[in-house]
């Protein structure tokens, strides 16, 4: 098991997670409904170029919404198209982008360079 922590202040951003694969993208993203999450709760996936960790939208308790409302556009949720919209609850640095709108994916993309990957022994 691993968890992610803020690289700047070391505050934990997630609970324990295990690596998994992303589910296939929903093919009805334009259906005006919020899509199913791309990973299961308690898991994370690594994106295609290893710059992002993809998490379930409810698995980042150590983050909060960006204070800049321009980063938090969206009609039913957050569209995540204007830069990182989640910051570390401890020190306020940008750590992730949440997409949860009716026409986007439903996931949190944690910026790999902004976090520490800490392992927790599973024994």
Residues that bind Zn ion (CB under 5 A): 6, 8-9, 75-76, 88, 90-91, 102
Taken as a whole, the chain contains a residue count of 123
Separation of first and last alpha carbons in the chain: 10
Taking the least distance from each CB to Zn ion, the nearer of 36 and 76 is: 76
Question: In the complex with Zn ion, which residue's Cβ is closer, 20 or 64?
Answer: 64
Q: Provide the minimum distance between the beta carbon of 42 and Zn ion in the complex, in angstroms, as a whole number.
A: 22
Q: In the bound complex, what is the minimum distance in angstroms from residue 122's beta carbon to Zn ion? A: 25
Residue number, 18 or 65, with CB nearest to Zn ion: 65
Asked whether the beta carbons of 13 and 88 are under 8 A apart, the reply is: yes
């Amino acid at each position: 098991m691993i968890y992610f922590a803020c690289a700047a202040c070391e505050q934990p951003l997630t609970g324990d997670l295990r690596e998994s694969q992303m589910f296939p993208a929903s093919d009805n993203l334009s259906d005006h409904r919020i899509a199913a999450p791309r990973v299961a709760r308690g898991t994370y996936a690594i994106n295609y170029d290893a710059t992002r960790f993809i998490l379930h939208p409810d698995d980042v308790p150590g983050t909060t919404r960006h204070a800049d409302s321009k980063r938090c556009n969206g009609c039913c949720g957050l569209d995540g198209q204007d830069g990182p919209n989640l910051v570390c609850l401890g020190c306020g640095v940008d750590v992730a982008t949440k997409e949860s709108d009716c026409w986007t994916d439903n996931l949190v993309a944690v910026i790999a360079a902004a976090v520490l990957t800490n392992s927790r022994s599973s024994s």
